[in-house]
Amino acid sequence: MDPSSGPAARPSSSAARGGDDDAHAPQQQVQPLAQAQPQQAAAPPPQPLPPQQQLSRYESQKRRDWNTFLQYLRNHRPPLTLARCSGAHVIEFLKYLDQFGKTKVHAAGCAYFGQPNPPAPCPCPLRQAWGSLDALIGRLRAAYEESGHAPESNPFAARAVRIYLRDVRDAQAKARGIPYEKKSRKRKQPAASGEASSSSAAAAAAREAAAAGSAGDGSSGSAAAAKAAPTTGQGS
């Protein structure tokens, strides 16, 4: 018997079958790229979130200020509820915000006290500007009433808060050398209408005088113009 046809030849046939299996194995386990791409393209895109209602800049700032104040009440020691909040607590909250201020307020003993543009830095503390505090109180006062509370119990409208803001305004005006003046609306004076009517009468008299002068009566025209001049002066 030929040794090559004996048991030694069997491994060669099994090895051949193993080679065929290995050749077919990658086709069964690995998915072709051409088949994978259509599946990825067919996946639906994620749905966008529903658009939220756009708030104005004032409303957004008012909401942030209100949440900040409520957080301050929760962190207060002892804890403080909104129903027990008074004007004194509001003033305490405003003083707490001074540590986050960016406005230089010179002390009375500072060399730059009262100077709006100091030439060099100084160790005076930073504070919240009066205008920022005044606008903050206005937003919190509105937010308090919009949250369902009675205006009579509004701590942000307390007289003590108004006095504190006025004192801060006066103190910062002296320390920074920047006066805070409230702009007053210009009201129309009643005399303006009288002045306009007298001016119209003077113009009419001048026209009459010119007409009389053209007719040949120069003396009467000069007299009419002279009478019109005092009328204009009285109206002014």
Lowest mean pLDDT among 42-51, 70-79, 103-112: 42-51
Question: Per-residue pLDDT averaged across 129-154, rounded?
Answer: 94
Segment 45-61 mean pLDDT = 68
Helical pair 87-96 and 130-146, crossing angle rounded to 10 deg: 130
Tokens 């895109």 found at: 45
Give the tens place of pLDDT for each residue, 9-51. 454 444 445 555 554 544 555 555 445 444 545 545 444 444 4
* 3-class DSSP state of 126: strand
Per-residue pLDDT at 228:
39
**Residue 127, φ and ψ in degrees, nearest 5:** -135, 165
With a pLDDT cut of 90, the percent of the chain lying above it is 44
pLDDT in tens, 175-197: 988 876 665 555 555 444 444 45
Question: Are 66 and 143 contacting, i.e. CB atoms less than 8 angstroms apart?
Answer: yes
SS (H, E, C) 73-91: HHHCCCCCCHHHCCHHHHH
Q: How far apart are CA 231 and CA 59, in angstroms?
A: 57
Task: Give the span between the Cα atoms of 156 and 142, in whole angstroms.
Answer: 9
pLDDT band at 85 (very low <50, low <70, confident <90, very high): very high
Instruction: For residue 207, give Cα distances in angstroms to 41, 217, 224, 233.
Output: 90, 14, 9, 18
Quickly state the pLDDT bin for 199 (edges 50, 70, 90): low
Is the entire prediction scored with pTM above 0.75?
Answer: no
